[in-house]
Amino acid sequence: VTESRESTKLAFLPPEDWAPGMRVHEIDLAPSGSHLTPFKSSRFEVEAGCSSPVDQHEVREIWFIAQGEGELTYDGVPMRIRAGEVCCFEPRKPHAVVNDGASTLVVFSVWWG
Amino acid sequence: VTESRESTKLAFLPPEDWAPGMRVHEIDLAPSGSHLTPFKSSRFEVEAGCSSPVDQHEVREIWFIAQGEGELTYDGVPMRIRAGEVCCFEPRKPHAVVNDGASTLVVFSVWWG
């Protein structure tokens, strides 16, 4: 029973501060057979009034917006994002979000490739 | 600019009612190069007092708990799940959740294999 519980809930690696008010928690996919998981994943939070730094990389990335809202700038184009929405970033396209809402922005990220 | 906006925000396929108070919105990954996306994905909601049906399948699945809480039963073992947590289901292991909380349970699901 204990083993089943432990392997079902995935743990997080030690959090990393990417910017003031932005913290990233990478998910430890090892207990669920990381060699079979075709992506990596994290949860990150951006506090109200704070921003994520501009990020740009070769991997493709999807953001699942879990809570809150903000102003995403993707490849130079601003757009609103809010809880329930899903965004996809192509390789090498810069992306950053400003949390101009009243509550913490919470995002699950998945990246691969 | 319009094209960039459209391809960044992913759309949802028509929602499906899986049970009373449970609605599943599969994500349309096609605009972001679905042939390159090594998983499928959805967002689903379970209203307060409602449940998901028992699900069991060959693919591996991860749940990103976006909002709310509930009682997950995984392979016969009950456990609490709440916003911010991540659960992983091995192939063929039955899983279902009861939303015994006060607000809607919102989950992003990713499956592959």
- Measure the CA–CA gap between A110 and A98, rounded to whole angstroms: 20
- Measure the CA–CA gap between A27 and A11, rounded to whole angstroms: 6
B87 contact residues in A (CB cutoff 8 A): 8-10
pLDDT in tens, B76-112: 999 999 999 999 999 999 999 999 999 999 999 999 9
pLDDT of B74 strictly over 90: yes
CB-based contact (8 Å) between A23 and chain B?
Answer: no
The whole-number pLDDT of residue B34 equals 55
* Contacts with B67 (C-beta within 8 Å, 6 or more apart), sequence order: A66, A67, A83, B83, B103, B104, B105, B106
The whole-number pLDDT of residue A35 equals 59
Give me the percent of chain A exceeding a pLDDT of 70: 89
Complex prediction ipTM? 0.93
pLDDT of A22 strictly over 80: yes
The whole-number pLDDT of residue A4 equals 46
Q: Are A27 and B74 an interchain contact pair (Cβ–Cβ within 8 Å)?
A: no
Q: Are B60 and A33 an interchain contact pair (Cβ–Cβ within 8 Å)?
A: yes
- Measure the CA–CA gap between A13 and A7, rounded to whole angstroms: 15
A8 contact residues in B (CB cutoff 8 A): 72, 74, 77, 79, 87-89
The whole-number pLDDT of residue A37 equals 87
- Mean pLDDT of the A66-90 span: 96
- Mean pLDDT of the B28-39 span: 75
Give me the percent of chain B exceeding a pLDDT of 90: 84
3-state secondary structure labels for all residues of B39-67: CEEEEEEECCCCECCCECCCCEEEEEEEE
Distances (CA, A) of B51 to A15, A47, B93: 33, 32, 18
State whether residue B91 is helix, strand or coil.
Answer: coil
Confidence band of B32 (pLDDT split at 50, 70, 90): low
CB-based contact (8 Å) between A66 and chain B?
Answer: yes
β-sheet bridge partners, residue A25:
A43
pLDDT of A106 strictly over 70: yes
The whole-number pLDDT of residue B1 equals 40
State whether residue A7 is helix, strand or coil.
Answer: helix
pLDDT of B35 strictly over 90: no
pLDDT in tens, A26-77: 999 886 555 578 999 999 999 999 999 999 999 999 999 999 999 999 999 9
A85 contact residues in B (CB cutoff 8 A): 9
Confidence band of A2 (pLDDT split at 50, 70, 90): very low
CB-based contact (8 Å) between A2 and chain B?
Answer: no
State whether residue A4 is helix, strand or coil.
Answer: helix
Angle at B97 between CA A87 and CA A63, to 5 degrees: 10
CB-based contact (8 Å) between A106 and chain B?
Answer: yes
Tracing tokens 């009682």 back to the chain, one arrives at B71
The whole-number pLDDT of residue B13 equals 95
